[in-house]
Structure 1
Amino acid sequence: MGDRVEISPHDPGFRGSWYAGTVVRREAKNTNRYVVEYDQLYEDESGEKLLQETLDWIQLRPPPPPPEKKKVQFKFGDEVEAFYSDGWWEGSIIAEHSGGKFAVFLRGFEEQIVFEEKDLRLPVQWVKGKWEPRFEQFTQGMQVEVLTDEDGLKGAWFAATIIEPSGEDKYLIEYKTLRNDDDTEFLREDIRACNIRPCPPEIIVVDGFKVMDEVDAYYNEGWWVGVIAKFWVLFPSTAALLHASPDGGSFSGLVLSA
């Protein structure tokens, strides 16, 4: 034991985060569960004793490899992990600031926070004993959604079809609703893989939407990431508000964000 790991905490309030820690021991009765100790989380507010938890193996992974020597060029729309509150939290860049700083919407906190570049890293996943970029390999003809960088459309996901790979971690896609400048055919673009996602599954919201839910709202031919503020949806990427009328106890044109 004593292996260094990153830990996805058990508490629902820590969903989407990874914290550094050490394996203390494996459970004797269930070899798929481990006792781990966090580096920077404590049992109480006094900060005298480090927190230990017993977790399933799937909540543990080796520490990710150090960043490559080639500097990562972060930009609007990138999915990232940001170091905040002693852990790495999932989020997406919603604005670029001067001085190498970026505004990141952290899903776990449902708020926008500005980070320096040194506190960001690209998401990776531990798959079958090796590290892989956290995006799927897309195949020709696959139905997807695309995050575009075009002015006026930033922050929205648009339905598209994969045409073919077009370079390292890039794909040629054809939009289903956006058309070219002369309106003769559907628009095609080369898109980075990290800006492509499979079409989200249909999610039935039993209890309806509520204030502060993070949602995707269908507007202007695409799905825009937003947060419900009373009967309005706030789009953090544009600071715009969209009215969402209640319809049978829920909101029309909304789905929970993927």
Structure 2
Amino acid sequence: MTVDYRAQTVLLTGASSGIGAAFATALAARGSSLVLVARRAERLAAMADELHRAHGVRVEAVPFDLAHPAAGSELRQAVADRGVAVTSLINNAAFGTFSRFADADPGRLAAEIAVDVAAPVQLTAAFMPQLLSAANGFIINLAGVSAYFPSPRMAVYSAGKAFVLSFTESLWTELRGTGLTAFAVSPGATDTDFTTGMGPGAGVLTSGRTRTPGDVVATALAHLERRDPGPSVIDGRSNQLGVIMSRLASRRRSALLMDRVFDPDRRAKTTAA
């Protein structure tokens, strides 16, 4: 696909840190205008100013909580009030909870579903007319390798990413021939602040080798620029191999294996043995 980045105005959620910030930097460097969405207003404003000064592109900062029930229509209005027409969308915002489901706070889980599952659907629906009208843009949804197998202690997050992956692959099929490209990118363990505040023991998620936010963005944009991008891409060779191996195992074996992988006490148990 030939991408004219300078013709793009990209709405990017979860833009204030991690993979979102890396997307913002890479796209601004390529000449895209940006609408940055996140809850942290001061951080978002500082980033918008920095990207504008560094690359001369238009950058709008829109502080917004995607857990709102009417996130799609409210954010569409906020963007329209700034006189911006969006041509592309990156649904990156998400958060997780690391605990056994029985011990999790129901209110937090509801917010997690709102941000991780409902918001990507609402925003895609709300901005779809603009995106189709532009006819040369893209939708990139952040799924994750946890979309491909169960993740005990992250049951809702894993299920949410599985939803995003399936939703996006269906969109890819429906949008073929429209000029609007859609695909999901699935990172594995990445060096971000994602685990902050998830719960005790969440550090086990990044205890091994991690990819960088820049790696994930490079994978996504390289996929976008392919002649005929497929419906999804997995970041990192080891993550790709892990997904392949999980598909060879039974669902029972996969679930039990991931229970061990996500056990925060596994290293202590191994040492004791």
Taking structure 2 as the reference length, what is the TM-score of the superposition?
0.26
Compare the two structures and name the one with the higher helix fraction.
2
Larger Rg: 1
Taking structure 1 as the reference length, what is the TM-score of the superposition?
0.27
Compare the two structures and name the one with the higher strand fraction.
1
